[in-house]
Structure 1
């Protein structure tokens, strides 16, 4: 049995963002305890829709107390929060949270938001790039990114950074789709593998059903064993 020793420990902010060029006039820092009241108020004002669904945890001070590695505090927590500030004013103008799964060597995005009037500065695009960079710098082997389908912006950010669309998840989360209307919504799942191909085991073609064969081929191209494989499960040859 191979035992993985990589603990995916959080590193300094400078190490984790090494290689990321921040937009002019902006700085990045680790969220501090004293910023929590201001941050939660800003998020509620910027994006009222996140009052429902998974992202709503970012409005709850208890989430930061329980799960987020705050500046100068315990690094054992699973979530890291990057705050983007405007240098001239010191105002918080963006937030990116990332969550590690140490056992699976996975890193995923929790929430990425930009103050609405600051869109177009490249902060959101940099946030997607930072997700991959943080993953590489702490030893993640795969990075996952769920994108809303409300707008195309988040999808384009992921695709421009080389993330692969690997699925559309129906009823994945709860969202406010109109004033006073909350429904379960689809989200796009993107992935980026950070290890060499020889470290990834392909599924056995002969155990895939017709539908999973079709989806695999659509997403990843022809499987190496496809030509010589037995008929897929559910389509066995008759012997009459």
Structure 2
């Protein structure tokens, strides 16, 4: 299972005019870490903080053709300038792709680069035969929530305390985050039987996936 060529994902998830994708190279790691400090100050804590350690890239991220690694970092470039990034993690056993973080330079946020992120993750997933893609969106701001919903991803839940964020200078709190997902192979989904669900589980399932539960199945 190899990460697809940049040209393949560009065709499936095009960027605005003047921008392009580029896979992170080893020599670019220090510059990316420096940029993230500016683009994403809250990255110092929580799930995303691994992106601030050079050892994370050296040990886990696909760099310079190390396609066996399960983390990929994709840069957004404008000419030769690094203006944003998106990282993704694959689980080859469950064939699922998890969008880790997206960060965009303040000077380029009006270009709507983040709107390409759901399409980009889908393109990666489809190219590698993944069954599902998913990502998290903070409840502090509605922007990424709206982006996922606009692209047809489904809100499947809200996690309490999954991650930590800087909410004020020197103040870190555990936060709620929305989970958005898209199934790439809906024909492979096994519908649950009503008799196998607790009342609470069935009520939530019916809310999220109306009409998908098998109401009565003998044996």
TM-score (norm 1): 0.87
Query: Residue 34 of structure 2: SS of its match in structure 1?
Result: helix
Mark the CA change 1:177 to 1:40 in structure 2 (over 3 Å): closer, same or farther.
same
CA drift at 1:121 = 0.6
Q: Determine whether 1:96 maps to 2:104.
A: no
Measure, in 2, the Cα distance between the counterparts of 1:200 and 1:110. Answer: 24
| Cα distance in 2 between the residues matched to 1:79 and 1:50 | 17
* 1:132-175 alpha-carbon deviations (Å, 9 max, x no partner): 11111111110011111111011011111111000000001111
Instruction: For residue 119 of structure 1, give the secondary structure of its aligned residue in structure 2.
Output: helix
Distance 2:135 2:191 in 1: 21
1:95 partner SS: strand
Question: Is residue 187 of structure 1 aligned with residue 177 of structure 2?
Answer: yes
1:149 aligns with 2:139: yes
User: Who is 1:82 aligned against?
Assistant: 74
Mapping of residues 21-36 of structure 1, within 5 Å:
21-36=14-29
1:140 equivalenced with 2:130 (yes/no) = yes
Taking the aligned partners of 1:141 and 1:18, their CA distance within structure 2 comes to 20
Q: Which runs of 4+ in 1 moved over 4 A?
A: none
CA distance in 2, matches of 1:225, 1:123: 41
The total of aligned residue pairs comes to 218
Is residue 160 of structure 1 aligned with residue 153 of structure 2? no
Query: Which whole-Å CA distance do the structure 2 matches of 1:196 and 1:167 have between them?
Result: 19
Gaps of 5+ in 2: none
Of 158, 175, 190, 1:201 maps to 190
Contact kept? 2:191, 2:214, Cα under 8 Å = no
TM-score, normalised via structure 2 length:
0.95
Query: How far did 1:229 drift?
Result: 6.9
Unmatched runs of 5 consecutive residues or more in structure 1: 1-7, 231-240
1:20 to 8, 13, 18: 13
Deviation digits for residues 189-233 of structure 1, max 9, x if unmatched? 111000133x1101221021111111011101034533x479xxx
Larger Rg: 1
Let me know the Cα RMSD of the aligned residues.
Answer: 1.5
Whether 1:214 and 2:203 are equivalent positions in the alignment is yes
Structure with bigger helix share is 2
Equivalent residue number for residue 98 of structure 2: 108
Matching of residue 48 in structure 1 with residue 7 in structure 2: no
**In 2, distance between residues paired with 1:165 and 1:25?**
32
Equivalent-residue separation in structure 1 for 2:155 and 2:10 (angstroms): 24
Aligned partner of residue 18 in structure 1, secondary structure: helix
CA distance in 1, matches of 2:78, 2:3: 25
